[in-house]
Copies of this chain bind each other. A is one copy, B any other.
C-alpha cells in the first residue's frame, strides 16, 4: 500500500497525487499537521515538510525526486517523454512552477491567505498578496505563449510539467485567485486537465474554515 502524508492544498503534494492517480496507483492520504513538527513527523522527514510518500516500505521526501521515482518504477502511462531534449523541457517547467511560480505566486497568495491562518502564523501581508496577484498575470501570459505553440505545456503530450502547473493552479483556484478570463488558451488547458479522472480526488478536497467556491469542482467553470 502506498501512503502519502500530505496537506490538501499543498501543490507539491497535489503533483504527486496527480502522478499516482494517472498511473492508477491507489494511495492512502494522511493529513499531516506539518507545522507542529512533532517527533514522529520529523522522523519521517528530517526536512520537516510534506509531501512524504511511504512506498515499498520506504519513506520518500522531496516531490521532484518522488515524481521521477514513480515515473521510473511505473513508466506506463508515461508522464515523461523519451528524448533528452523533451525531458529537459519537462524538468525545466517543473522547476519553473515549483521554484519560480511557487516563490512569486503560490507563497504570496495561498500561503498568506490560507496557510498563515491554519498554522496560526498571523495575518495576510497585503504587500505580498498584491505582488502575488500581479505576478500570476505574467505567468498566465507565459503559459498562453507556450500553449500557442504546443498542445501541452512541455510539448504535444501531457507530462509532469502539466501536473506541476495544475497542482499550483488548482490550489489557487480553491481560493478563487485565478482569473480564468485572462487567457482562453490557459483556461482550455486547465479544463482539459481538470476533466481527467486523475483530478477527481483534488476536486473533492475540503479545508476546514475555507469552503471552496462553487466553480472549483465544476468541470464547466
- Interface positions, chain A 2-26, Cβ under 8 Å from B, are none
The answer to whether A96 touches B66, judged by C-beta atoms less than 8 angstroms apart, is: no
Residue-wise, chain A 84-100 has the 8 Å CB interface mask toward B (1 for contact) of 11011101101110011
Q: Give the interface SS of chain A, mostly helix, strand, loop or mixed.
A: helix
Looking at the complex, which one of B64, B73, B88, B94 makes contact with A69 (CB distance below 8 Å)?
A: B88
Given A62-B96, A85-B58: A68 touches B46 (CB 8 Å cut-off): no
The answer, yes or no, to whether A175 is at the interface (CB within 8 Å) is: no
A136 to chain B, nearest CB (A): 15
Query: Which chain B residue lies CB-closest to A94?
Result: B65
In the complex, the chain B residue whose C-beta lies closest to that of A67 is B91
Q: Chain A 167-196 against B: per-residue CB contact (8 Å), 1 yes, 0 no?
A: 000000000000000000000000000000
A147 adjacent to chain B (CB < 8 Å)? no
Is A72 located at the chain interface by the 8 A CB criterion?
yes
Contact B96 A68 (CB under 8 A): no
| A-side interface residues, number (CB < 8 Å) | 26
User: How long is the Cα–Cα vector from A88 to B102 in the complex, in angstroms?
Assistant: 23
Q: In the complex, are the beta carbons of B95 and A72 less than 8 A apart?
A: no
A64 contacts B95, C-beta separation under 8 Å = yes
Task: Determine the chain B residues whose CB is within 8 A of the CB of A84 once the complex forms.
Answer: 69, 72-73
Which chain A residues numbered 112 to 126 have a C-beta less than 8 Å away from chain B?
A: none
| Residue of B47, B58, B92, B142 touching A61 (CB-CB under 8 A) | B92
Residues of B within 8 A of A69 (CB): 84-85, 87-88, 91
**16 interchain pairs, CB-CB under 8 A:** A46-B142, A47-B96, A61-B92, A62-B91, A62-B95, A62-B96, A62-B99, A64-B64, A64-B95, A65-B89, A65-B94, A68-B87, A68-B88, A68-B91, A69-B85, A72-B87
Q: Mark A residues whose CB is within 8 Å of B.
A: 46-47, 58, 60-62, 64-66, 68-69, 72-73, 84-85, 87-89, 91-92, 94-96, 99-100, 142
Other A-B contacts than A60-B88, A73-B84, 8 sampled, CB-CB below 8 A, are A62-B99, A65-B94, A65-B95, A68-B87, A68-B88, A69-B84, A69-B87, A72-B84
